[in-house]
Amino acid sequence: QVQLQESGPGLVKSSETLSLTCTVSGGSISSSSYHWGWIRQPPGKGLEWIGSIYYSGTAFYNMSLKSRVTISVDTSKTQFSLKLISVTAADTAVYFCARQGWGDAYSVIDCWGQGTLVTVSS
């Protein structure tokens, strides 16, 4: 059974870069059937899709974050990563990594990490 685990600093200073990594275990990150995504939830608010990446390296982003976000994949380490630059307090959130389907199943998010809280401090 596929498991995802987020890792990275829980505290980031304002204007700096947020960096998180998701490690995939129990399954292949190079499967052609899935994309690998990042989703966040600010405190007291709803979920927000950040973006996703295919094993080939092709990435897709939420247009509202596109200028600040980069998602990358390292198939040799079975990991994919999120970088968000120029963070502000509004980027404080629980960040989830997740597995999304491919094609018509793109909106199917069938496996999630437990989430990691990242706080942006001034």
Binding site for another protein (CB under 8 A): 39, 45-49, 52, 60-64, 96, 100, 104-110, 112-115
Residue 105 CB, shortest distance to another protein, in Å, is 7
Residue 90 CB, shortest distance to another protein, in Å, is 15
* 85 SS3 class: coil
- How far is the C-alpha of 7 from the C-alpha of 88, rounded, in Å? 20
Complex with another protein: residue 33 or 114, whichever CB lies closer:
114
- The sign of the CA dihedral 78, 49, 108, 113 is positive
The count of other CB atoms within 10 Å of the CB of residue 115 is 16
Decide if 6 contacts 20 (C-beta within 8 A): yes
Residue 11 CB, shortest distance to another protein, in Å, is 20
Decide if 34 contacts 103 (C-beta within 8 A): no
Complex with another protein: residue 16 or 112, whichever CB lies closer:
112
Complex with another protein: residue 55 or 60, whichever CB lies closer:
60
Residue 30 CB, shortest distance to another protein, in Å, is 19
